[in-house]
Amino acid sequence: LTAVAAADMAAWFSHQLGELVEIPSLQAMGLRLVGGRLLAGDDGPVAQLIYEDGSGYRVSLCLSSAPNDGGREVEVVQLAGLTAGYWHGGEFTYALVGHTSEQQLVAIATQLGANQPQALSRDRERAGSTWRAGDWCKSWPRRSSVLLS
């Protein structure tokens, strides 16, 4: 996306979420922003940003301004073959989802401001947990076209 398109997307997401949304650059991690969309969450709108690496693999970053009791430490879980991490920072709850290793996901999350987890979980499933951030991003595309809302 161009800088103008990203700025327009940030302004639109800010209006929808009721908080200032800044679109993070993940170029240093080898990821470029390819699109975004607004999703309906249980507690209000969710901004979904989609990043892609040079091989075409994607990670999805979701932001919600819904209240959350979580902290800045990223919690990493496995969901239906995907690695997901979530944390709370500032006015937002974040969820990062992709076909990637826990180490790579934690590296991206810490680049975005999350704290390192106490310890990485190995093959831990969180089925039935109270966390719904994975639901926001479960339909993220791996190699398909991206809708810009």
pLDDT per position as a tens digit, 103-135: 999 999 999 988 888 765 544 444 334 344 445
pTM: 0.79
Q: What is the pLDDT of residue 119?
A: 61
Q: Please list the pLDDT of the chain residue by residue as tens digits (149 residues).
A: 787 888 999 999 999 999 999 999 999 999 999 999 999 988 889 999 999 999 999 999 999 987 777 788 899 998 888 999 999 988 899 999 999 999 999 999 999 988 888 765 544 444 334 344 445 454 433 333 333 32
Burial of 1 (0-12, 13-18, 19+ CB in 10 A): middle
- Contact between 96 and 51 under an 8 Å Cβ cutoff? The reply is no
